[in-house]
Amino acid sequence: KDKSAIQENKAAHKKDDLKNKEKHNHVISKSDLNATKEAGEPKPHQGVDSLAKPLVKRKSGFHKVYSLDVTGAPRDAKAVGQYGNAAEVPGDKAVEAKSRWAEGHFNVFLSDQIPLDRAIPDTRPQTCSQSVVHNDLPTTSVIFCFVDEVWSTLLRSVHSVLNRSPPHLLVEILLVDDCSTRDYLGEQLDEYMKKLPKVRIIRLKERQGLIRARLAGAAVAKGEVLTFLDSHVECNVGWLEPLLERVYLDRRKVACPVIEVISDKDMSYVLVDNFQRGIFKWPLVFGWNTLPEEHIKKNNMSVSDPIRCPVMAGGLFSIDKKYFYELGAYDPGLDVWGGENMEISFKIWMCGGEIEIIPCSRVGHIFRGQNPYKFPKDRQKTVERNLARVAEVWLDEYKDLFYGHGYHHLLDRTAVDIGDLTEQIALRKKLNCTSFKWYLDNVYSDIEAHLVKAEGLMFNHGLRKCLAIHEDALSFTICDLSKKNQHFNYTWVRLLRQQDVCISPRDQQANVTLEPCDPSKPLQRWFHKPADSALGEHLIAEATTQHLCLEAGLHGSSLHLNLCEPSNSLQK
């Protein structure tokens, strides 16, 4: 198959309904395998030097994916942690190991014992070593940004890329130092990297956070594809080509490896379950879940097929460089850590791209319980501010679900400054991106995303009548489900709403009226005390100094606030 055939396939692909895209993953047929002969077929764990015929870039055709590992048979088979095995702290070193934990929030002592080029088990699904990729894959720059990374993990990350990436595809490794404070990351690192011609170090004068640090790396990258990695990883055999292949097939595909686990305790390399995809739960919390069984069956998926992901984990992915900039890269207003994975994920899906996990590409990552570096400002505040920026720009009316799951306080913009969003909003418009509702319907249809927390009638137990809006005023009347003016929403941001008007105390006084809804007004927020609480079901006006309860007037013609009383049925 020549390249033009593939391109035709690509064109057809773009028109397809997103839901059907998986079916087109395999554009390479078995007969293509013949083409690999020409290019030579390296065996797993074969050294770079022994490649039968190094590929010349820009030659059409295919080859079997290079299962490179220059360590081949490892130099020291008996070394600590070799082959990704668990390492153990000797009894007399336990105190030392413990005291060094905080340097990286993992077992730094053990990491320092393990060879920088250790072998790890090839955990790819069986078919992966036989799969074929194009000879003329795009080149890549690998970007590691780091702050105060542990020496041995940083170096092991770099060596795993150098040892397991086809040299002709790896233009460079960019190490972006986000203003580290540790001595060894200065001259000592410069010295070390002088020996590795592909490695360039970029020093940021001020701490920028990982988002702007990545942007600094991307800005100087020379490769056609940007490959971002965390600075405590080990790339597995054959990790790179399957990622670049996806970008080659469609430059709007953003490819992520399967992220495996390097144990923070014993540094062993642990493989993860198949069919995992990246998702989020409210309030924009990243997580993993297994593809539903029926989805796997319906699409006849094998363990090596790409997996569409509603969101990516954030740290490890390949993206076409030009496409990254077309998308406006990251919102540079995001600080330090967090939320950028949501931002780039929504942006990719809503503006014409796709995110996939590629099971034939696997990278180990040390998952840590805590960030081992300082946040210039409060950590919690930094992350929630980032998330609020993302919610405001990308979530449309669904942003209420974000705020409504524990972030109500962010709505008060006099207390919380989330910065200027003009450019981000303009960008979304310019790119002509779809709505968040489209994203939910087409990319992540199994998330729970009801726009309001509750809807229906507001029945008062004391009067045994329902609240209604009649002639722009509130009053109680015989309950009737068919009457629109008795329908209220209780929104995620705690408004009691009918169309555009909301129930609101008149300042701090006892009277309650209707006002145009405005979630930034704390006075309009009602805390709902659920029915199963000892106090019974109440609606408490949040912003009143005494936390007053909503109460029906005796004759049903009014609504007011009063001191909360558990036994007062007019408050229920």
Binding site for ligand LR7 (CB under 6 A): 145-147, 149, 178, 209-210, 213, 230-231, 259, 286, 313-316, 336-338, 340-341, 365, 371, 373
Should residue 230 be labelled a site residue for Mn ion when binding is judged by CB under 5 A?
yes
Closer residue to ligand LR7 (CB): 358 or 468? 358
Local structure of 5: helix, strand or coil: helix
Instruction: Return the amino acid letter for 157.
Output: S
Closer residue to ligand LR7 (CB): 272 or 531? 272
The Cα 369–Cα 265 span in angstroms is 11
The Cα 339–Cα 334 span in angstroms is 8
Should residue 260 be labelled a site residue for Mn ion when binding is judged by CB under 5 A?
no
Question: Quick one: residue 329, left, alpha or beta (phi over 0 = left, psi -120 to 50 = alpha)?
Answer: left
Classify residue 300 by its DSSP letter: T
Rg (CA), the chain: 28
Closer residue to ligand LR7 (CB): 61 or 217? 217
Residue 549 touches which of ligand LR7, Mn ion, none (CB < 5 to 8 A by kind)?
none
Residue 245 touches which of ligand LR7, Mn ion, none (CB < 5 to 8 A by kind)?
none
CA dihedral sign, ordered 493, 495, 497, 499: negative
The token pair that represents 291 in the structure block = 């593809």
Closer residue to Mn ion (CB): 229 or 387? 229
Residue 146 touches which of ligand LR7, Mn ion, none (CB < 5 to 8 A by kind)?
ligand LR7
Nearest by Cα to 335 from 147, 207, 182: 207
How many residues touch Mn ion (CB under 5 A)? Answer: 1
The token pair that represents 492 in the structure block = 């995620």
The token pair that represents 369 in the structure block = 């319980």
What are 448's strand-pairing partners? none
Angle between helices 340-350 and 379-394 (to 10 degrees): 10
Closer residue to ligand LR7 (CB): 331 or 400? 331
Closer residue to ligand LR7 (CB): 230 or 241? 230
CB of 349 to ligand LR7, least distance (A): 17
Closer residue to ligand LR7 (CB): 373 or 488? 373
Stretch that binds Mn ion, among 17-25, 149-157, 227-235, 447-455 (CB under 5 A): 227-235
Closer residue to Mn ion (CB): 145 or 561? 145
Residue 340 touches which of Mn ion, ligand LR7, none (CB < 5 to 8 A by kind)?
ligand LR7
Residue 66 touches which of ligand LR7, Mn ion, none (CB < 5 to 8 A by kind)?
none
CB of 261 to ligand LR7, least distance (A): 9
Residue 259 touches which of Mn ion, ligand LR7, none (CB < 5 to 8 A by kind)?
ligand LR7
The Cα 346–Cα 490 span in angstroms is 27
Non-local (6+) Cβ contacts of 270 within 8 A are 260, 261, 262, 263
Residue 217 touches which of ligand LR7, Mn ion, none (CB < 5 to 8 A by kind)?
none
CB of 479 to ligand LR7, least distance (A): 48
The Cα 167–Cα 233 span in angstroms is 19
CB of 368 to ligand LR7, least distance (A): 6
Non-local (6+) Cβ contacts of 339 within 8 A are 284, 383, 386, 387, 389, 390
Which residues contact Mn ion by CB under 5 A? Answer: 230
